[in-house]
Amino acid sequence: MADRISPERRSANMRRIRSRDMKPEMVVRRLAHGIGYRYRLHRKDLPGNPDLVFGPRRAVIFVHGCFWHQHDKAECLDGRPPKSNEGYWTPKLARNVERDAVAQAALRAAGWRVLVIWECETRDETALQERIRLFLGGPE
C-alpha cells in the first residue's frame, strides 16, 4: 500500500514527534505527583532512561507510545504496524521492542522494579492512578 502523503510531508511530520513531555507522560506525571509521589525524570545513568524514577523506592515507570513500542494488546489499534513501507518500519519498530526488553531486564537485574504504562492506558485516569498507587505503595 502506498503512502497517502508525500515523502516531504511525512518527513516533516516525523520531525515534530518528540520523545519527552508527550501528553501520556504528562498525564502519568500529574497523577503520580497528585498522589504525593516525588520522582526524577529521564535519568540517563539508568538503562533505557526511564520516564519517571522513584529512587528511594527502587522503582521506575516507562510511558510507552503504543505505536513506537508496538503495544501488542488486541484492543489497542494504535499498536498496529504500518502497512506502507514495511521494509523500513518492521525492523525499526522491532529494534525499539528489543531495546525496551533489554533495558527492563537490566533494571530488574540491578534490583529495580519496572512498570510500563501504555499510551492507551492513560485514558482511564482513575484506573491508572490506582495502578500507580499499587505499584509504588503508600506515598512518602
Model pLDDT, residue 1: 52
What is the per-residue pLDDT across 31-86, written as a single tens digit (0 to 9) for each?
A: 999 999 999 999 999 999 999 999 999 999 999 999 989 998 888 888 888 888 88
Name the maximum alpha-carbon separation found in the chain: 53
Would you say residue 11 has pLDDT above 90? no
Which residue has cell 538503562? Answer: 47
- Residue 134: its pLDDT value, please? 96
Neighbouring residues of 73: CB distance < 8 A, sequence distance ≥ 6? 79, 118, 120
Q: End-to-end distance of the chain based on CA atoms, in angstroms?
A: 53
Query: In which region does residue 63 sit, left (phi positive, over 0), alpha (psi from -120 to 50) or beta (all else)?
Result: beta
Q: Which pLDDT score, from 0 to 100, does residue 19 have? A: 61
Rounded to two decimals, what is the model's pTM?
A: 0.85
What integer is the mean pLDDT of 23-34?
A: 95
Instruction: Taking residues 8-16, report their average pLDDT.
Output: 66
